[in-house]
Amino acid sequence: MTQPNDQRSQLEALYAEMAPANLTPLWESLAQLVPKRPQSPAVVHRWSYDQARDYLIRAGDLISAEQAERRVLILENPGLQGLSSIVPSLYAGLQLILPGEIAPAHRHTQCALRFVLEGEGAFTALDGEKAIMGPFDLVLTPGWQWHDHGNPSDRPMIWLDGLDIPTVRHFDAGFAESFPEKTHPETAPPGDTLARYGRNLRPVRGSAADRRPAHQPLFHYPYADWRPALDAMAGAATIDPHLGHALEFLNPADGGPVMPTIAAQVRLLPAGFETRARRSTDGTVFVVVEGKGRAVVEGREIALEPRDVLVVPSWQELRLGAADDLVLFSYSDRAAQEKLNLYREECA
Ligand code: GTQ
């Protein structure tokens, strides 16, 4: 809009006068407030696992899990400084539990997922039931369920935490409590829930049926289960040109995404496969499980190595290429966006 100088200066004077009354003119910011398409402040970024791991292990020498409550290095998007966010709606961190340590029991309204990157035999206990974790297992801690972590093994355990912290902050709906003891008393043997709800079964009635929340019973999705499923799919299905062979983790209670705000997937791209370009409104966090490859985001190429973490913001065009068989885990806020009728994607 071209404006005569005197109009501009009179407007500026008016804005200055109204500012103390906490009033601002919409017409100066309408295009940003109601953008033609998403213009994420987040940027594409890759964290090298080896580099992040070094810092995390050094932190392990300086502060205990118990003292820290959660010993975690936040993966903060360079475009979202100070916000502890990897995309505007989601958080990511790398958590370390050393042999013998306990991260004390607490609960909060934020939903969390853990994706194991290193170690074997540590656990997350959910409402007093341990999920014994191994590499590339997915473990959930849905909102307001008690959880503590412990590592009885003799090696460090490192996993990626994915939480909806910024979403809950956005809604001003954060609550948290500490459990009165370090760990929640055991309520069931390890693997009890997985044995039932993980096999398309559920207890019909009685204490076994009442123990887990009906809307969110399952919380452990082991690598040993999901990895063969990807291979079976790759052996039998035509490959999706934009995704590769992709599977979503489901909540067995409703057949929907794993948690109300977060959806999680794994995918396999056979060696030599290149996806066609695709963009979606759910900025996505990827973890490389196996293989090497590359991501091309809006024309910028990024090399991918095992256990690297890559974030691709909303509406940025992504192509993925596999040098070897490339297996990726990913999570995003698609679960929330679909409920709000916001989710869109565009495939080339
Ligand atoms: O393990 O409960 O990375 O509460 C951030 C907040 C992990 C956890 C995080 C948390 C946790």
DSSP state of 131: E
pLDDT on residue 2 = 63
Per-position pLDDT tens, the chain of length 348: 567 889 999 999 999 999 999 999 999 999 999 999 999 999 999 999 999 999 999 999 999 999 999 999 999 999 999 999 999 999 999 999 999 999 999 999 999 999 999 999 999 999 999 999 999 999 999 999 999 999 999 999 999 999 999 999 999 999 999 999 999 999 999 999 999 999 889 999 988 888 999 999 999 999 999 999 999 999 987 999 999 999 999 999 999 999 999 999 999 999 999 999 999 999 999 999 999 999 999 999 999 999 999 999 999 999 999 999 999 999 999 999 999 999 999 999
- Characterize 317-343 residue by residue with b for buried, 16 or more Cβ atoms within 10 angstroms of its Cβ, and e for exposed: ebbbbbeebbbbbbbbbbbbbeeeeeb
How far apart (Å, rounded) are the C-alpha atoms in residues 337 and 344?
9
In terms of phi and psi (left: phi > 0; alpha: psi -120 to 50; beta: otherwise), the region of 13 is alpha
How many whole angstroms from 312 Cα to the centroid of ligand 1?
22
Backbone angles phi, psi at 247, to 5 degrees: -130, 140
Q: Report the helix count and the strand count for the chain, using DSSP H and E.
A: 9, 24
How many whole angstroms from 11 Cα to the centroid of ligand 1?
48
Cβ neighbors of 98 (< 8 A, separation 6 or more) are 60, 65, 151, 156, 157
Q: Ligand 1 — pocket residues by CB below 6 A? A: 70, 72, 93, 95, 108, 112, 147, 161, 163
| Nearest atom, ligand 1, residue 72 CA | 3
For atom 6 of ligand 1, which residue has the closest CA?
70
Backbone angles phi, psi at 264, to 5 degrees: -135, 145
**Both structure tokens of 202:** 């559920």
* CA-based radius of gyration for the chain: 22
| Nearest atom, ligand 1, residue 114 CA | 1
Pocket test for ligand 1, best of 139, 163, 309 (most atoms within 8 A of CB): 163
End-to-end CA distance of the chain: 35
Q: Which domains does the chain have, with CATH numbers?
A: 38-347 (2.60.120.10)
Pocket test for ligand 1, best of 66, 69, 70, 184 (most atoms within 8 A of CB): 70
Beta-bridge partners for 279: 346
Asked whether the whole model's pTM tops 0.75, one would answer yes
User: Are the CB atoms for 110 and 174 separated by under 8 Å?
Assistant: yes
How many whole angstroms from 342 Cα to the centroid of ligand 1?
27
